[in-house]
Amino acid sequence: MADIDALARLLRAELGSGQVITDRAELRTYECDGLAHYKVVPALVVLPHTAEQVAAVVRACVAAGVPFVARGSGTGLSGGALPHADGVLIVTAQMRRIVEIAPADERAVVEPGVINLQVTKAATPHGYYYAPDPSSQQICSIGGNVAENSGGAHCLKYGFTTNHVTGLQIVAPDGELLRLGGRALDPPGYDLIGAFVGSEGTLGIATEVTVKLTRLPETVRTLLAAFPSIDQAGAATSAIIGAGVVPAAIEMMDALAIEAAEAAVACGYPAGAAAVLIVELDGPSAEVEAQFEQVTALCEKNGAFEIRIAADDLERALFWKGRKSAFAAVGRISPDYIVQDGVIPRTALPEVLRRISEVANEHGVRVANVFHAGDGNLHPLVLFDDGIEGEAERAETVSGAIIDLCIEYGGSITGEHGVGMDKAKYMPRMFGDDDLDTMQLVRCAFDPLMLSNPGKIFPTPRLCGERPGRGAESPFPGVEIF
């Protein structure tokens, strides 16, 4: 094992002693991210202030053969920022400078520790905002959003983080500072920004991010529709999208999720609903008004028994309050829960929800469903009580079975939370050996020593010199992949 004490001395000299943490109690603060299921205390934590300091830390790690993991606000839900026990955790929380708001270019340039919502706050006076809005947007960092390709309720219309990043400064896994892209879209050469966003720290660390700013919409209209069954709410969702309307958001909650939200924040949703949809439209007034009538009619046609239209921002906020508090609210009706994140084709919603319910019943576990219905991004909350023996295991089984269902229906093992540590085991269920080998080739191109966030995304990492499996049956013997 490398000499961590020597590394700590070196980094203290380089960064200043206040920016290097070695005290065991303090280190423990960083033992997990938002997925508290996994806990690892890092060997060392550093808090760099500049990109050059991040580069210096990475170079020192490479020289010492020590793995390193970057962490923003630590709100991730897949263990992507889980520390390495023998490694350095590079926390970007002190890199919070908004470098530039450039409304004429519709761009903002920020450091990775900048909080998601702060970008919007800085852009709003200019008539712009930053569109990707994870539920954690009041606390999550742009650097973490880049690593995990974070989504949010409004990604149905506006796309994920990857659709909003046009430029990056990164520290590559060898410690070099590189620039990828810039302010323009689609520069020549390979699109390495696309590959980097969502690479969960395995291709390096973002130290500056250039993002698109989106014009504030002229109008926002929000409705809440209550349905007597989940099938009808699902059919309404398909009908809305099928009509060519792309709402800013279509969110669904089932009866159990509604119950939890009511218990927590008394949001006053219509009584007796098996499912509610929150549909939000934004854009030019003329467009929004016309489409709003269309959406209302489609909800009615598909059996909505009550439709409420937000009269003002206050009522709109109330509609969203129930939805946004749903995860935390589940604590009111269950001591423990797992938040799952999977994707299915929108058209399969009713069928998959039925099968989730069957699996849950089979194992005697309750599942509350809260999700981005418009893009088929499920967030089932699997409830359990850790105090009752065997419940945690049963919940884990149901949670895994839900992911299997997502794959079976042609969906994905993650919609917006990332693979991280938690879902690496599912990757071979979704990707074949050739697919994983190709990703591994790219990983090794950036990180041949496998020091940059090792153990995340890939289930069974090979060393980079090893011959990929597919080479074994190479039709042209003598030709090595490397």
Cβ proximity to a second copy, 307 vs 407, nearer residue: 407
What's the min distance (Å) between Cβ of 455 and a second copy? 15
User: Helix, strand or coil for residue 56?
Assistant: helix
Q: Does the footprint of a second copy cover residue 194 (CB under 8 A)?
A: yes
Of the candidate residues 116, 120, 169, 291, the single one contacting a second copy (CB under 8 A): 291
DSSP bridge pairs for 21: 45
What's the min distance (Å) between Cβ of 172 and a second copy? 7
Q: Please state, in angstroms and rounded to a whole number, the distance separating the CA atoms of residues 385 and 215.
A: 45
Cβ proximity to a second copy, 331 vs 345, nearer residue: 345
Pick left, alpha or beta for residue 181 (phi over 0 → left; psi -120 to 50 → alpha; otherwise beta): left
Q: Does the footprint of a second copy cover residue 192 (CB under 8 A)?
A: yes
Q: Does the footprint of a second copy cover residue 475 (CB under 8 A)?
A: yes
What's the min distance (Å) between Cβ of 289 and a second copy? 7
Cβ proximity to a second copy, 200 vs 391, nearer residue: 200
Of the candidate residues 124, 347, 357, 397, the single one contacting a second copy (CB under 8 A): 347
Pick left, alpha or beta for residue 379 (phi over 0 → left; psi -120 to 50 → alpha; otherwise beta): beta
Q: Does the footprint of a second copy cover residue 266 (CB under 8 A)?
A: no
Of the candidate residues 16, 182, 272, 335, the single one contacting a second copy (CB under 8 A): 182
Could you say which residues in the range 131-170 bind a second copy, by CB under 8 A? 149, 159-160, 162
Cβ proximity to a second copy, 34 vs 132, nearer residue: 132
Could you say which residues in the range 361-420 bind a second copy, by CB under 8 A? 375, 410-414, 418-419
What's the min distance (Å) between Cβ of 133 and a second copy? 16
Cβ proximity to a second copy, 339 vs 449, nearer residue: 449
Helix pair angle (4-15, 51-64), 10° resolution: 160
Residue 224-253 contact track with a second copy, rule CB under 8 A, x = bound: ------------------x-x---------
Q: Please state, in angstroms and rounded to a whole number, the distance separating the CA atoms of residues 378 and 343.
A: 6
Q: Does the footprint of a second copy cover residue 461 (CB under 8 A)?
A: no
Which residue pairs from 354-363 have beta carbons closer than 8 angstroms and sit at least 24 positions apart in sequence? 354/230, 355/405, 356/380, 356/402, 356/405, 359/398, 359/401, 359/402, 359/405, 360/398, 363/394, 363/397, 363/398
Q: Please state, in angstroms and rounded to a whole number, the distance separating the CA atoms of residues 255 and 138.
A: 27
Of the candidate residues 31, 105, 336, 404, the single one contacting a second copy (CB under 8 A): 105
Could you say which residues in the range 9-68 bind a second copy, by CB under 8 A? 59, 62-63
In the structure encoding, which two tokens stand for residue 24, read together? 């065991």
Of the candidate residues 2, 10, 98, 195, the single one contacting a second copy (CB under 8 A): 195
Q: Please state, in angstroms and rounded to a whole number, the distance separating the CA atoms of residues 339 and 331.
A: 12
Of the candidate residues 31, 259, 287, 315, the single one contacting a second copy (CB under 8 A): 287
Place of tokens 């270019």: 105
Q: Does the footprint of a second copy cover residue 462 (CB under 8 A)?
A: no
Length of the chain, in residues:
482
Q: Please state, in angstroms and rounded to a whole number, the distance separating the CA atoms of residues 249 and 2.
A: 49
In the structure encoding, which two tokens stand for residue 408, read together? 């079976």
Compute the C-alpha angle 96/62/197, nearest 5°: 45
In the structure encoding, which two tokens stand for residue 285, read together? 């007034």
Q: Please state, in angstroms and rounded to a whole number, the distance separating the CA atoms of residues 285 and 280.
A: 13
What's the min distance (Å) between Cβ of 210 and a second copy? 12
Cβ proximity to a second copy, 317 vs 445, nearer residue: 445
Q: Does the footprint of a second copy cover residue 455 (CB under 8 A)?
A: no
Q: Please state, in angstroms and rounded to a whole number, the distance separating the CA atoms of residues 365 and 263.
A: 20
Of the candidate residues 3, 5, 218, 313, the single one contacting a second copy (CB under 8 A): 218
Cβ proximity to a second copy, 319 vs 426, nearer residue: 426
Q: Does the footprint of a second copy cover residue 187 (CB under 8 A)?
A: yes
Of the candidate residues 15, 45, 66, 203, the single one contacting a second copy (CB under 8 A): 203
